[in-house]
């Protein structure tokens, strides 16, 4: 048994776990543990124990813990663990975290903790390090207290970075673990993040002009103050970047993600009502922890037009593929795009047929996309909701610096590729970094929003949420595009889809909500709506809908 045993038990008594109703359990889901904040104190304490174990297991590398509930309402919160290179927690460990968090008593907790240590061959005397941050939710303060107690009880070195965006915490985790090595990711500080990004932004622009102001809706979350801080690092003499930061009130928690932010814009398919949108102005929205990004504008004639994750993905892929060609590297580097089944079919056709790049489809959840993107030298991945990034292999980055340019144009392309690789957060989707990338690309191409929008036309689509008695009846195959269970359901969907032109539809159980989701797209709005409703009805019938 560990020497910290009495400390763990007494600290755990100060942060008790709230028992859930019979038959329910806490679960490390797609984005860690996420729920009403008043259920989370004990959960967060226990996540601290898991983070300490994980650090010890990985030879004392620093592990990150982020306290956020992203685009959820202000009363929610969440806690998730970040692996050493800034990736999401390894999947096996999600199960260990779930096990530990659900221990019914303090003594059972200690027993599970020790069992895990034995089972995973963890030497509890190995030093451990955990770094953490939180978004602007008021409940974060108390949760950080519980986390700090767990780290103290397990003799874990802890660094409190206070309020951060989620991608900043991922950045800092990677920087901490690569500091002083040849693969150092950057200075280990929030300032280091701003400096790295601002420097890469100027370098990637290479004197190109950004056309007109950009309005950034920050969902009244942590992105607001952090974006304002970042802008101080952009040298005014080198770049004219006219950013209007709006919805950045972090002093009134009740307005967090309320009628604004990337999730609102994507799901409601309209601009935030406040501030009143300026006709023609280039706008974008971040979500509550600044890892999602959606662009849009309101056109004088045609009204609201949204450029979502699929659009950012195809824009980035086309730009990078052009640069790779201009640099004479098309034979050396494999570029690919990773999407989920929710990507609009028109974007997939555009990428495969027009850009002639391979597209891979994975299950929902960024960790799956990230993993698949690692198989390319340049892997572009985005969920349609605006969460994503571009991953460059170590070899690709080395090549950008090492290749001898044969012409000024080649040198220009190689320099831009190197700058873009520095600008894009390699650890996780980062709304601020992605926004700077989009601005760089539009400036390079001298494109307006309309130029970007006309690259392809989205198929009309509909997403429907269906409540069923037991969502676990619905099991999928083929990257969630087909149902294997319940028996017969997929056949009925297939029969339905056949009746429409350019149509596609699928159903799956949500990983974050107690419901199923149905997605349908077809040649016309009417057809897409009709198909979505019919498939929703099939799901209801099979799930004994409530």
44 sits near Mg ion (criterion: CB under 5 A): no
Q: Is 274 a catalytic residue?
A: no
The verdict on 491 binding ligand GN1 (CB under 6 A) reads no
Strands 293-299 and 303-307: antiparallel
Q: Which two tokens stand for residue 89?
A: 């927690």
Q: State which residue has the least CB distance to ligand GN1.
A: 511
Q: Is residue 461 within the footprint of ligand GN1 (CB under 6 A)? A: no
The stretch among 65-73, 390-398, 418-426, 455-463 that binds Mg ion (CB under 5 A) is 65-73
Q: How far is the CB of 320 from Mg ion (least distance, A)?
A: 24
Q: Which residue of this chain has its Cβ atom nearest to Mg ion in the complex?
A: 70
Q: Is 510 in the site for ligand GN1 (CB under 6 A)?
A: yes
Q: Which residues pair with 284 in a beta bridge?
A: 216, 295
Q: How many CB atoms are located within 10 Å of the residue 151 CB?
A: 26
Question: From the CB of 264, what's the least distance to ligand GN1, in Å?
Answer: 13
Q: Which stretch in 245-253, 364-372, 388-396, 428-436 sits in contact with ligand GN1 by CB under 6 A?
A: 364-372
Which CB, 259 or 395, lies closer to Mg ion? 259
Choose the catalytic residue: 12, 55, 70, 313: 70
d(CA 320, CA 420): 9
Is residue 342 at the binding interface for ligand GN1, with CB under 6 A as the rule?
yes
Distance CA 433, CA 435 (A): 5
CA distance 171 to 41: 25
The C-alpha R_g of the chain, in whole angstroms, comes to 24
Q: Given the complex with Mg ion, which of 261 and 363 has the nearer CB atom?
A: 261
Question: Buried (b) or exposed (e) across 248-276, using 16+ Cβ within 10 A?
Answer: bbbeebebbbbebbbbbbbeeeebbeeee
Q: Which does 511 bind (CB under 5 to 8 A by kind): Mg ion, ligand GN1, none?
A: ligand GN1
Dmax (CA) of the chain: 71
Contact, 87 vs 427, CB < 8 A? yes
Residue 68 or residue 112: which is nearer to Mg ion going by CB? 68
Site for ligand GN1 in 30-49 (CB under 6 A): 30-31
With CB under 5 to 8 Å by kind, the binding choice for 68 among ligand GN1, Mg ion, none is: none
Kindly state whether residue 70 participates in binding Mg ion, applying the rule CB under 5 A. Answer: yes
List the one residue from 44, 168, 339, 385 that touches ligand GN1 (CB under 6 A): 385
Residue 451 touches ligand GN1, criterion: CB under 6 A: no
* Residue 519 C-beta: closest distance to ligand GN1, Å: 7
C-beta of residue 61 within 8 angstroms of C-beta of residue 140: no
Residue 438 DSSP SS3: helix
Question: Which residue, 84, 77, 82, 94, is CA-closest to 42?
Answer: 77
Decide whether 74 or 442 has the Cβ nearer to ligand GN1: 74
> What is the C-alpha separation between 319 and 215, in angstroms, rounded?
23
Q: Which of residues 275-304 bind Mg ion (CB under 5 A)?
A: 287, 289, 291
Asked whether the beta carbons of 131 and 189 are under 8 A apart, the reply is: no
Residue 56 to residue 130: CA distance in whole angstroms:
10
Distance, in Å, from the CA atom of 35 to the CA atom of 462, rounded to the nearest integer, reads 27
Chosen from ligand GN1, Mg ion, none, partner binding at 517 (C-beta under 5 to 8 Å by type) = ligand GN1
Strand blocks (E) in 119-220: 128-134, 156-163, 214-217
For binding to ligand GN1 (CB under 6 A), which residues are involved?
A: 30-31, 342, 364-366, 383, 385, 510-513, 517
Question: Which residues would be at the binding site for Mg ion (CB under 5 A)?
Answer: 70, 287, 289, 291
Which residues have a catalytic role annotated?
A: 70
Q: Which residues are annotated as part of the binding site? A: 70, 287, 289, 291, 383-385, 508-512, 517
Which residues are annotated binding-site positions for substrate? 383-385, 508-512, 517
């Amino acid at each position: 048994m560990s020497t910290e045993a009495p400390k763990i038990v007494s600290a755990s008594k100060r942060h008790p776990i709230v028992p859930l109703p019979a038959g329910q359990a806490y679960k490390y889901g797609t984005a860690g543990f996420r729920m009403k904040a008043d259920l989370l104190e004990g959960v967060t304490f226990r996540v601290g124990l898991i983070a300490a174990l994980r650090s010890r297991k990985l030879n004392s590398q620093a592990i990150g813990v982020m306290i956020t509930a992203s685009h959820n309402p202000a009363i929610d919160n969440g806690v998730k663990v970040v692996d050493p290179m800034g990736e999401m927690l390894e999947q096996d460990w999600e199960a260990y975290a779930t096990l530990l968090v659900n221990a019914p008593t303090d003594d059972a907790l200690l027993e599970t903790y020790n069992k895990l240590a034995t089972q995973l061959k963890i030497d509890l005397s190995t030093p451990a390090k955990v770094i953490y941050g939180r978004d602007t939710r008021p409940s974060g303060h108390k949760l950080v207290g519980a986390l700090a107690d767990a780290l103290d009880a397990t003799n874990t070195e802890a660094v409190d970075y206070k309020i951060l965006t989620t991608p900043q915490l991922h950045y800092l985790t990677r920087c901490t673990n690569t500091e002083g090595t040849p693969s150092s990711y950057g200075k280990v500080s929030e300032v280091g993040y701003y400096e790295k990004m601002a420097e890469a932004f100027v370098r990637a622009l290479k004197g190109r002009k950004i056309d007109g102001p950009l309005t950034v809706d920050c969902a009244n979350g942590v992105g607001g103050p952090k974006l304002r801080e970042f802008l101080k690092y952009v040298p005014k003499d080198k770049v004219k970047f006219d950013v209007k930061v709006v919805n950045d009130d972090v002093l009134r928690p009740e307005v967090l993600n309320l009628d604004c932010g990337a999730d609102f814009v994507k799901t409601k398919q309209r601009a935030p009502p406040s501030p009143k949108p300026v006709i023609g102005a280039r706008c974008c929205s971040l979500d509550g922890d600044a890892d999602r990004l959606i662009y849009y504008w309101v056109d004088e004639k045609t009204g609201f037009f949204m450029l979502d994750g699929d659009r950012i993905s195809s824009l980035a892929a086309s730009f990078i593929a052009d640069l790779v060609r201009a640099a004479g590297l098309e034979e050396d580097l494999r570029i690919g795009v990773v999407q989920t089944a929710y990507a609009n079919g028109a974007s997939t056709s555009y990428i495969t047929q027009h850009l002639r790049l391979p597209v891979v489809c994975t299950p929902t959840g960024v960790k799956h996309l990230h993993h698949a993107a690692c198989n390319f030298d340049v892997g572009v991945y985005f969920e349609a909701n605006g969460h994503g990034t571009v991953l460059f292999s170590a070899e690709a980055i080395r090549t950008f610096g090492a290749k001898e340019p044969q012409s000024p144009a080649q040198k220009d392309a190689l320099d831009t590729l190197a700058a873009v690789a520095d600008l894009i957060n390699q650890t996780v989707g980062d709304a601020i970094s992605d926004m700077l990338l989009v601005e760089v690309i539009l400036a390079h191409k001298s494109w307006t929003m309309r130029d970007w929008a006309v690259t392809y036309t989205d198929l009309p689509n509909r997403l429907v949420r269906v409540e069923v008695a037991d969502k676990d009846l619905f099991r999928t195959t083929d990257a969630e595009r087909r149902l294997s269970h319940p028996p017969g359901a997929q056949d009925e969907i297939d029969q339905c889809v056949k009746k429409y032109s350019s149509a596609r539809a699928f159903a799956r159980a949500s990983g974050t909500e107690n419901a199923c989701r149905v997605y349908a797209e077809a040649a016309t709005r009417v057809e897409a709506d009709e198909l979505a409703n019919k498939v929703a009805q099939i799901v209801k019938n099979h799930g004994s809908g409530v």
